């Protein structure tokens, strides 16, 4: 196993790392480390609210919700006085598990709870879960009384490295994924790496797809490191996981800090997503995990780039090998090129009716392009999704 020069002797249980997303007065910390949920003092730095709505789901609640609520109840609230700690209210909402529940109807249930409990504008919504819980709770926080505070406590690898950071919140619509949403940055991201111990292997691999994405779009050295360390990551070696999460969050924080609303380089973070969303939407959001769809989508994007002469065909070979070793799928479902294109046409990157594609142009570099021959897209889609 090899680590980069910056972490040559990485300890087994690394100390917490604090990164920052720089967005002026809306800047916030990303705390990454082991045992964070057990640290009332640490939580209290960013969570001083009296009223907290803890949004989680049926899988995560029995694992971590009691523990988090205990730490919150022990920490100082609302300026730190004992009186206000005694009056802290934590209301828990447990959502059904699964991407198919990331809907307006589910969000409506959460609004009902906020209103029934008469939570005000000074309330905090805390998301304890993977990207589905985080996106939905974030959407609720963005809308309730025109916006209340949000803290993300991610519990999947994908949420640690991607969805908890950056302020994209959304729910799905039967017509397409993440079509209804808002930008709403959290006040803090508290990423306790211990929570990943209970994550199913398949979900860990799905998170690795987004980790590999960062190497592909921005950091060739990180991609090399992933090639050297993918088995250590699958074995959940703490130092390897900590490095992968930290480097991914550094890249994401830098991109979000310079292009919060996706007017430019943030679109690169969607590499593989336009093709991947077609896979997820066609499957009704069941069967294929988001990270798995992104993995196949990255292969399709790289293949398209190779067909256009933007990327070397060797890049596709290298990417396929790494995704395969990360135990990710390498083939698209046979939904047909025309159907895939229909789903791609309602992607949020469509401008003036034209699908903009994120295409790798070499290891560690990618571009967004609407300037490609339609025939090249049709050929690529046909090759992957069938006629
Ligand atoms: P998920 O939230 O569905 O979680 C995956 C599964 O793991 C679920 O069954 C969940 O209950 C379970 N789980 C979560 N934490 C666990 C733990 N610690 N131990 C055991 N089981 C656990 O899926 P995900 O991959 O985390 O997120 C996917 C979602 O994230 C998609 O909806 C996608 O659109 C969204 N996303 C958003 C952004 C963004 O920037 N907002 C970025 C990437 C993805
Ligand atoms: N996951 C894509 C983004 O945050 O922009």
Q: What's the whole-number mean pLDDT along residues 140-161? A: 98
Other beta carbons within 10 angstroms of residue 240's beta carbon come to 23
**In the chain, what percentage of residues exceed pLDDT 70?**
93
The more confidently predicted of residues 186 and 285 is: 186
Q: List residues bridging with 173 in a β-sheet.
A: 176
- Ligand 1: which atom is nearest the Cα of residue 159? 26
* pLDDT > 90? residue 382: yes
The pLDDT value recorded for residue 84 is 54
Computed over every residue of the chain, the mean pLDDT equals 92
Q: Cβ(168) to ligand 2 under 6 A?
A: yes
| DSSP letter string, 215-261 | HHHH-HHHHHHHHHHHHHHHTT-HHHHHHHHHHHHHHHHHHHHH-TT
pLDDT digits (tens, 9 = 90+) for 169-212: 999 998 878 999 999 999 999 999 999 999 999 999 999 999 99
Question: Which tokens is 191 given?
Answer: 């990423």
Which pLDDT band, with edges at 50, 70 and 90, does 1 fall under?
very low
> Which residue, by CA, sits nearest to atom 3 of ligand 2?
269
3-state secondary structure 144-202: HHHCCEEEEEECCHHHHHHHCCCCEEEEEECCEEEEEEEECCCCEEEEEHHHHHHCCHH
Among 158, 167, 168, 257, the mutation site with the greatest number of ligand 2 atoms within 8 A of its Cβ is 168
The pLDDT value recorded for residue 175 is 80
> What's the 115 CA to ligand 1 centre distance in angstroms?
26
Other beta carbons within 10 angstroms of residue 120's beta carbon come to 12
> Which residue, by CA, sits nearest to atom 4 of ligand 2?
166
* pLDDT > 60? residue 4: no
Q: Are 341 and 375 in contact (CB under 8 A)?
A: no
The pLDDT value recorded for residue 281 is 87
This prediction's pTM: 0.94
Active site positions, annotated: 146, 168, 210, 252, 262, 266, 270, 273, 277, 290
What structural domains does the chain harbor?
A: 17-198 (3.40.50.1970), 271-387 (1.20.1090.10)
**In the chain, what percentage of residues exceed pLDDT 90?**
85
Least confident of 137-141, 281-285, 381-385: 281-285
pLDDT digits (tens, 9 = 90+) for 323-337: 999 999 999 999 999
- Ligand 1: which atom is nearest the Cα of residue 178? 34
């Amino acid at each position: 196993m090899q680590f980069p020069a910056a972490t040559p002797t990485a300890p087994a249980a690394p100390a917490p790392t604090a990164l920052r997303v720089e967005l002026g007065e809306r800047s916030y910390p990303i705390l990454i480390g082991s045992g964070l949920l057990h640290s009332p003092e640490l939580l209290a730095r960013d969570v001083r609210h009296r009223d907290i709505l803890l949004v989680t789901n049926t899988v995560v609640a029995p694992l971590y919700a009691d523990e988090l609520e205990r730490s919150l109840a022990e920490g100082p609230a609302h300026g730190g006085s004992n009186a206000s700690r005694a009056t802290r209210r934590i209301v828990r909402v447990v959502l059904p598990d699964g991407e198919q529940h990331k809907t307006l109807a589910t969000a409506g249930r959460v609004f009902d709870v906020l209103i029934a409990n008469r939570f005000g504008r000074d309330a905090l919504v805390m998301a304890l879960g993977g990207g589905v819980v985080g996106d939905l709770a974030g959407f609720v926080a963005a809308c309730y009384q025109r916006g209340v505070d949000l803290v993300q406590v991610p519990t999947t690898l994908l949420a640690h490295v991607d969805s908890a950071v950056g302020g994209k919140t959304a729910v799905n619509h039967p017509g397409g994924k993440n079509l209804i949403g808002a930008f709403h940055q959290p006040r803090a991201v508290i990423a306790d790496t211990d929570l990943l111990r209970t994550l199913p292997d398949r979900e860990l691999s799905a998170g690795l797809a987004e980790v590999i994405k960062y190497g592909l779009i921005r950091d060739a050295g990180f991609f090399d490191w992933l090639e050297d360390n993918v088995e250590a990551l699958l074995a959940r070696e703490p130092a390897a996981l900590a490095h992968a999460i930290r480097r991914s969050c550094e890249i994401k924080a830098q991109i979000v800090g310079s292009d919060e609303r996706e007017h430019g380089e943030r679109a690169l973070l969607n590499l593989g997503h336009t093709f991947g969303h077609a896979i997820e939407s066609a499957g009704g959001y069941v069967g294929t995990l988001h990270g798995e769809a992104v993995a196949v989508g990255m292969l399709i994007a790289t293949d398209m780039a190779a067909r256009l002469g933007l990327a070397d065909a060797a890049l596709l070979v290298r990417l396929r090998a790494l995704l395969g070793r990360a135990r990710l799928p390498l083939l698209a479902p046979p939904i047909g090129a025309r159907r895939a294109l229909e789903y791609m046409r309602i992607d949020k990157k469509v401008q003036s009716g034209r699908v903009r594609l994120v295409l790798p142009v070499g290891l560690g570099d990618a571009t967004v392009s609407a300037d490609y021959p339609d025939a090249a897209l049709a050929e690529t889609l046909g090759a992957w999704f069938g006629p």
